[in-house]
């Protein structure tokens, strides 16, 4: 009996903690999104919050902004991340070493920088009076602050997108580099024998090899940026705001009646991220990308 | 053919440096500038007043202390929870394995603030808001999956034969764990710990909801400055915050290297090699 139940007893503390603290919180939120507030005498379940939400223009504008920011952020991270990985690969090739060197760590630096700091870096770089604008002025390309586009606290979300592109590109390259380094030097020589140049080697061999990992890494960035709060809270505008910020605004608006709506936004977010997570998991299993992820 | 790739790698190297290092330049300049008007690329006068303010303010070190304290407790709890769970999932036939994995890995996919906002009123009723304990409880879900994963990978390379051998040599359960299992798992535990510390350090929203402004960690202290406060002070705080996050990672890495060096020496001695 002990032998049979031992693994379950070993799993119990971790699983119970997550169930209680995490799923308990989600369930708590779910009940309250149905209008269940025993503290103020509301014990009836209804869908009023969801109904109000799905008929409000600000929710759909939030949704649109969130999708746009997540799509552009993950696209930019994917492109820049691939460029970094390929650049590191060729740098190692030309130095005739295969082992990752200490300075590779340098290119993961943005990953370790906290999100709020990364956001502030983008503020200092890209506000109208920021560093990039000063450098452009020094070269005489702009004469006035107002000639520099509004990229921070803008309704389109460029500041948020730039922050994620900077922070998540190293993540994409981190996922790609191991795949790239498995492409042996001999493959390169074989491709040369067959008359392939650098460009053809990249197109015919490198790109197909890294494609699955690249797609999954991009997708993970998309799911993450879709549900992240800190950076859009710092770099966005009050209206429209991305869904997590929208939910927070509703939650702290002061009126108790907005809270079920805030929690309803959360439940919709949770449902979407679970769906996206399952899709990512399915494809990563199929393509065998995330080895060691269970 | 020889010259071309070298030029290419030089170009690649410069591009990488611009992408990674240059963004820090305005942050550093702004933290030591006295006045820095547009369109000056460099500040016209320098001053350490922002650093003096940040480093002399008692709240700074209090926030650093509380942030690290919370991160350490969270990490310790994670180790205690993750070790047995990873052991069970890797080394025993568990029915419903996918369910346990789905439960433990769920906080990676579902953003933790959703759960924290839902549990907020319950925490309020239990008196857990505005307390360090409440914040620690809020930080466990987002960090545990990473610790769990790191320990699981370590367990996958630990052969049961080694433990059996120790058992045959007469080692009881506790010595077996401390002399055979734990040394093998330590790199994984440290990797998980650095991730756990890093993620705990970077939480703003869930700390703010549960701590309600009373548990002042570094991101809570930083936010009013970066969202429209004094740029010099905001930059100095940002650099300090980033430095602590990086130092936590580098420190874990150094601890691991040191552990290996210390452990190597007695083994060499035992083999009759030179120390």
Of residues A181 and B153, more confidence is placed in B153
Which secondary structure element, helix H or strand E, spans residue B264, and what is its range?
A: helix B231-270
The C-alpha angle A177, A179, A184, rounded to 5 degrees, equals 105
Chain length of chain B:
275
The CA distance from B81 to the nearest CA of chain A, in Å, is: 5
pLDDT-based confidence at residue A184 (cuts at 50, 70, 90): low
DSSP string, B101-120: HHHHHHHHHS-HHHHHHHHH
Q: Do the chains contact at A269 and B141, CB–CB below 8 Å?
A: no
Query: Is residue B2's pLDDT more than 60?
Result: no
Q: Do the chains contact at B38 and A145, CB–CB below 8 Å?
A: yes
Query: Is residue B266's pLDDT more than 70?
Result: no
The CA distance from A44 to the nearest CA of chain B, in Å, is: 18
Which secondary structure element, helix H or strand E, spans residue B57, and what is its range?
A: none
Question: Considering only residues 158 to 197 of chain B, which have any Cβ-Cβ distance to chain A shorter than 8 Å?
Answer: none
Residue among A161, A167, A54, A187 at smallest CA distance from A108: A167
The CA distance from B56 to the nearest CA of chain A, in Å, is: 21
CB A276 within 8 A of CB A46: no
pLDDT of res. B264: 63
Pick from B4, B18, B39, B209 the residue to mutate for testing the A interface (most A CBs within 10 Å): B39
Share of chain A above pLDDT 70, in %: 92
- Cα–Cα distance, A266 to B114 (Å, whole number): 6
Cβ neighbours of residue A226 closer than 8 Å, sequence gap 6 or more: A66, A67, A70, A243, A269, A272, A273, A276
CB B249 within 8 A of CB B191: no
Which secondary structure element, helix H or strand E, spans residue B238, and what is its range?
A: helix B231-270
CATH class of domain segment(s) B59-217:
mainly alpha
CB B130 within 8 A of CB A272: no
Rg, Å, chain A Cα set: 24
Q: What is the average per-residue pLDDT within B98-115? A: 91
Residue among B130, B211, B159, B88 at smallest CA distance from A15: B88
Q: Do the chains contact at B140 and A17, CB–CB below 8 Å?
A: yes
Peptide bond into B253 cis (omega under 30): no
pLDDT-based confidence at residue B270 (cuts at 50, 70, 90): very low
For A243-257, A260-274, B131-145, which range has the lowest pLDDT when averaged over its residues?
A: A243-257
Read off the tokens for A145.
């602050």
Residue among B123, B8, B92, B38 at smallest CA distance from A24: B123
Per-residue pLDDT of B6-61, as tens digits, reads 677 778 778 888 888 889 999 999 998 887 887 788 888 888 888 988 889 889 99
Per-residue pLDDT of B54-81, as tens digits, reads 889 889 999 999 999 999 999 999 999 9
Share of chain B above pLDDT 90, in %: 41
**Nearest-Cα residue of chain A relative to residue B224:** A234
Beta bridge partners of B46: B33
pLDDT-based confidence at residue B1 (cuts at 50, 70, 90): very low
Q: What is the average per-residue pLDDT within A229-258? A: 88
Is any Cβ of chain A less than 8 angstroms from the Cβ of B6?
yes
- Cα–Cα distance, A194 to A188 (Å, whole number): 10
Per-residue pLDDT of A25-65, as tens digits, reads 999 999 988 988 777 777 778 888 898 889 989 999 999 99
Share of chain A above pLDDT 90, in %: 34
pLDDT of res. B173: 80
**Residue A66 burial (CB count, 10 A):** 26
**Residue A245 burial (CB count, 10 A):** 24
pLDDT of res. B273: 39
- Cα–Cα distance, B24 to B146 (Å, whole number): 28
pLDDT of res. B255: 81
pLDDT of res. B49: 87
Q: What is the average per-residue pLDDT within A229-256? A: 88
pLDDT of res. A120: 94
Q: What is the average per-residue pLDDT within B89-98? A: 86
Read off the tokens for A225.
């940026």
Q: What is the average per-residue pLDDT within A94-112? A: 71
**Residue A204 burial (CB count, 10 A):** 13
pLDDT of res. A292: 42
3-state DSSP percent of chain A in helix, strand and coil, to 5: 75, 0, 25
Read off the tokens for B175.
């010595």
**Residue B267 burial (CB count, 10 A):** 9
pLDDT-based confidence at residue A288 (cuts at 50, 70, 90): low
From the list A6, A14, A292, the residue facing B92 with the nearest CB is A6
**Nearest-Cα residue of chain A relative to residue B11:** A87
The CA distance from A57 to the nearest CA of chain B, in Å, is: 22
Cβ neighbours of residue B176 closer than 8 Å, sequence gap 6 or more: B163, B166, B167
pTM over 0.90: no
Chains A–B, number of C-beta pairs less than 8 Å apart: 247
Q: What is the average per-residue pLDDT within B229-256? A: 88
Q: Which chain A residues are within 8 Å of B89, Cβ to Cβ?
A: 7, 11, 294
- Cα–Cα distance, A151 to A160 (Å, whole number): 9
Of residues A261 and B34, more confidence is placed in A261
Query: Is residue B102's pLDDT more than 60?
Result: yes
Each domain of chain B, given as residue ranges in start order, spans 59-217
Query: Is residue A279's pLDDT more than 80?
Result: yes
**Nearest-Cα residue of chain B relative to residue A134:** B39
CA B63 → CA A201, B221, B240, distances in Å?
52, 7, 11
**Residue A82 burial (CB count, 10 A):** 21
Q: With helix as H, strand as E and coil as C, how does A102-157 read? A: HHHHHHHHHHHCCHHHHHHHHHHHHCCCCHHHHHHHHCCCCCCHHHCCCCCCCCCC
The C-alpha angle B204, B205, B206, rounded to 5 degrees, equals 100
């Amino acid at each position: 009996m002990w032998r049979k139940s031992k693994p379950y007893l070993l799993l119990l503390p971790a699983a119970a903690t997550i169930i209680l603290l995490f799923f308990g919180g989600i369930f708590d939120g779910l009940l309250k999104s149905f209008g269940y507030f025993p503290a103020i005498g509301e014990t009836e379940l209804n869908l009023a919050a969801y109904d109000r939400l799905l008929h409000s223009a600000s929710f759909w504008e939030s949704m649109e902004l969130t999708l746009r920011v997540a799509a552009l952020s993950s696209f930019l991270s994917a492109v820049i991340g691939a460029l970094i990985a390929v650049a590191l690969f060729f740098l190692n090739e030309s130095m005739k070493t295969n082992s990752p060197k200490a300075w590779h760590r340098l290119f993961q630096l943005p990953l370790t920088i906290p999100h709020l700091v990364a956001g502030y870096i983008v503020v200092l770089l890209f506000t109208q009076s920021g560093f990039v604008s000063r450098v452009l002025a020094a070269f005489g390309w702009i004469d006035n602050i107002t000639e520099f586009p509004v990229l921070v606290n803008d309704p389109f979300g460029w500041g948020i997108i730039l922050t994620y592109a900077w922070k998540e590109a190293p993540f994409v390259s981190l996922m790609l580099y191991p795949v790239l380094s498995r492409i042996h030097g001999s493959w390169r020589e074989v491709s040369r024998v067959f008359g392939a140049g650098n460009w053809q080697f990249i197109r015919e061999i490198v790109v197909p090899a890294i494609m699955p990992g690249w797609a999954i890494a991009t997708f993970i960035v998309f799911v993450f940026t879709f549900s992240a709060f800190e950076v859009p809270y710092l770099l966005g505008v009050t209206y429209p705001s991305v869904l997590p910020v929208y939910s927070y605004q509703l939650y702290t608006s002061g009126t108790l009646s907005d809270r079920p709506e805030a929690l309803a936004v959360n439940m919709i977010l949770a449902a979407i991220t679970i769906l996206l997570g399952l899709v990512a998991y399915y494809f990563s299993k199929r393509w065998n990308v995330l080895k060691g992820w269970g | 053919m020889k010259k071309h790739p070298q030029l290419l790698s030089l170009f690649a190297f410069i591009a990488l440096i611009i992408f990674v290092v240059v963004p820090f330049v305005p942050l550093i300049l702004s933290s030591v500038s006295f006045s820095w008007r547009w369109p000056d690329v460099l500040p016209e006068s320098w001053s350490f007043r922002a650093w003096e303010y940040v480093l002399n303010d008692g709240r700074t070190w209090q926030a650093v202390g509380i942030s690290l304290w919370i991160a350490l407790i969270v990490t310790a709890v994670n180790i205690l929870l993750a070790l047995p769970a990873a052991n069970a999932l890797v080394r025993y036939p568990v029915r419903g394995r996918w369910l346990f994995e789905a439960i433990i890995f769920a906080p990676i996919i579902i953003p933790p603030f959703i759960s924290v906002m839902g549990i907020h009123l319950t925490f309020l009723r239990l008196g857990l808001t505005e307390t360090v304990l409440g914040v620690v409880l809020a930080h466990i879900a987002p960090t545990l999956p990473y610790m769990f994963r790191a320990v699981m990978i370590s367990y996958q390379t630990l052969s049961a034969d080694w433990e059996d051998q120790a058992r045959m040599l007469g080692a009881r359960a506790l010595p077996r764990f401390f002399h055979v299992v734990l040394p093998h798992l330590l790199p994984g535990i440290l990797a998980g710990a650095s991730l756990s510390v890093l993620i705990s350090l970077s939480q703003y929203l869930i700390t703010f909801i549960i701590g309600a402004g009373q548990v002042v960690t570094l991101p809570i202290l930083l936010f009013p400055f970066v969202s429209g406060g004094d740029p010099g002070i905001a930059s100095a705080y940002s650099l300090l915050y980033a430095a602590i996050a990086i130092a936590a990672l580098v420190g874990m890495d150094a601890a691991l290297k040191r552990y290996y060096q210390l452990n190597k020496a007695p083994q060499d001695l035992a083999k009759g090699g030179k120390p």
